[in-house]
Structure 1
């Protein structure tokens, strides 16, 4: 029969595996959005900013908004899995107090913050969201230019 620590360790691993899977899905989605947006922008540049190109530029807005929402959801789920993993880590430490896992983690966190003080504050999910906002903004800007040029 498995010990309490073995069960907690398995649950800890599962939470990290889930967080890793979410990051992989987010990366795949973002790569797809980048490819589609690049193709759409290239097609628009090749054809010019005619009214018919709204069929390409307007969906870019929706694609970018979808990317933002998906990244926010991936972040929310990732936070859930990381918090659960920390909870299981604390429970493991209760069973094996000599490990001092939380103290080691706090020390590593503080060292990282000292080594990279400016970039440490930047959240990775915010960078991904900015990318998707850029896709939506490029579609919106091109659409506005098309509307104003044709009027």
Structure 2
């Protein structure tokens, strides 16, 4: 039985490692998008809201939309890995019921929800999506202002 638990534990750990890798990739992508968007906004501020600046504002829309889609995909994959890890965790608990893994997680979850009742309901991925949507919205707003000023 110890060999089975070791295999399950290794598989559990691998799923968490995959989820952690996805979060690292998401953070890297988000940082890159924010840096590019900041540079685009700075460049637009220096050059002014002329029609030529659409070559900066319109790609910002695409960049923000790409960030939203990428964050949604990272979230989907993360959920997959966390669910797989929970399955392995349950399998370990079936073999070693005295560990009470499920009860421990449920207790921690309840304590966290009670300690942070308002922010607990906010999903982290929705904050990342809002950030990238803000980049896209900035590009849209700049483009609209440019069109209005040039009309």
Q: TM-score range by the shorter chain?
A: over 0.9
User: In the alignment, is residue 145 of structure 1 matched against residue 136 of structure 2?
Assistant: no
Counterpart CA distance in 2 for 1:11 and 1:104 is: 20
What does the per-residue CA deviation read over 1:65-123, in whole Å, with 9 as the maximum and x for residues that have no partner?
00000000000000000000000000000000000000000000000000000000000
Offset of residue 64 of structure 1: 0.0
What does the per-residue CA deviation read over 1:115-147, in whole Å, with 9 as the maximum and x for residues that have no partner?
000000000000000000000000000000001
- Tell me which residue corresponds to 1:77: 77
- Tell me which residue corresponds to 2:128: 128
How many pairs are equivalent?
A: 151
Counterpart CA distance in 1 for 2:29 and 2:91 is: 35
Q: Alignment RMSD, CA only?
A: 1.0
- Tell me which residue corresponds to 1:55: 55
Using structure 2 for the length normalisation, give the TM-score: 0.99
Gaps of 5+ in 1: none
- Tell me which residue corresponds to 1:94: 94
- 1:8-47 equivalences under 5 Å are 8-47=8-47
Offset of residue 148 of structure 1: 1.0
Gaps of 5+ in 2: none
Using structure 1 for the length normalisation, give the TM-score: 0.99
The 4+ residue runs of structure 1 with deviation greater than 3 A are none
Counterpart CA distance in 2 for 1:56 and 1:142 is: 9
Offset of residue 18 of structure 1: 0.1
